[in-house]
Amino acid sequence: MHLLTERAPAKINLTLHVLGRRADGWHDLESLVVFSRGGDCLSLAAGEPLSLVVDGPTASAAGALDDNLVLRAARNFSKHYAGAKLGAFHLVKRLPVAAGIGGGSSDAAAALRLLARANGMSLAEPGLAEAARETGADVPVCLGRQARMMRGAGEKLGNPVALPPLIGLIVNPGQPLETKSVFAKMNIAPGTESDFGAHPNFTSNMPIDALMAALRKGRNDMEAAACRLAPIIGDVLAVLSAAPGCRLARMSGSGATCFGLFKDCRSAARAKKAILRAHPGWWVKACVLN
């Protein structure tokens, strides 16, 4: 049986500014998003009855199959393209769950890319974008897997931004954290604008020093609330910040995953080894982000 495969990388929010909360309850965000070059792996046997099998190192935390975003994405795809091929999905889950790196959203986006390939569709098909929005707030940005600004509740996407490859270390301490809990802790009333400060500007082909300077002017506005819910996030940030060669340490998304940007691969590898020696239960991955 011929299988189609897609990589579902981690989504990292290099910045995440909360501009306020709309009257409908959704939070308005502004975030520079990049992707790792590794992550989960999703395959599709096209033409088979719709199904999903999940295995891999973090499969046990992935929850009930019927609630999995891969199947939700496939069902939304089917609503827009009646009669299109679906199929049997196999997900190898490697990314931590409820971790602020869009693992489930990236899996769903990979499912939509696979279904587009199986049906000879372009990724520019309007129905694909609609299915992505219907599946989850982070699925649209994960569909293209390109560095770009994400705004609103995730539905407004800027043009792709060409960034230099960033040497990253992604660390998750093993404590799941729900996005809605972090937003609740921030306690922003509907119809209220925040006043945390403007977002820095990012342009394609920025020199690495200019990019790092701009990133340092940014922040993750969810970090303080997440640290109150999961104080171990502060420990992760402290460990990353203290690692030789670390240029920037920050939480991704709503946490609890944090990332460090390093000056070179050797520094990141040394930090990974030291962190795992001191915290063998943490999930630590060196990666390239862009």
pLDDT in tens, 141-186: 999 999 999 999 999 999 999 999 999 999 999 999 999 999 999 9
Read off the pLDDT of residues 30-62 as tens digits, 9 standing for 90 and up.
Answer: 999 999 998 999 999 999 999 999 999 999 888
Report how far residue 230's alpha carbon sits from residue 175's, in angstroms, rounded to the nearest whole number.
8
What positions carry a catalytic annotation? 11, 138
The beta strand positions in 27-115, using DSSP E, are 27-46, 51-55, 87-92
With 80 as the cut, is the pLDDT of residue 262 above it?
Answer: yes
Read off the pLDDT of residues 66-117 as tens digits, 9 standing for 90 and up.
Answer: 889 999 999 999 999 999 999 999 999 999 999 999 999 999 999 999 999 9
Report how far residue 1's alpha carbon sits from residue 4's, in angstroms, rounded to the nearest whole number.
10
- 216-240: b or e for each residue (b if 16 or more CB lie within 10 Å)? eebbbbbbebbbebbebbbbbbebb
Least Cα distance to 87 among 122, 112, 106, 62 occurs for 112
With 70 as the cut, is the pLDDT of residue 1 above it?
Answer: no
Mean pLDDT of the chain: 96
**Considering Cα of 269, then 275, then 277, then 283, what sign does the dihedral take?**
negative
The pLDDT value recorded for residue 196 is 85
Report how far residue 59's alpha carbon sits from residue 241's, in angstroms, rounded to the nearest whole number.
30
- Tell me the mean pLDDT in the region 262-280: 98
CB 8 within 8 A of CB 105: no
Q: Quote the DSSP letter at residue 123.
A: T
CB 108 within 8 A of CB 36: no
Structural domains of the chain, with CATH: 4-157 (3.30.230.10), 166-289 (3.30.70.890)
Helix, strand, coil percentages (3-state) for the chain, rounded to 5, are 35, 30, 35
First to last CA, the chain: 34
Percent of the chain residues topping a pLDDT of 70: 100
Whole-prediction pTM value? Answer: 0.95
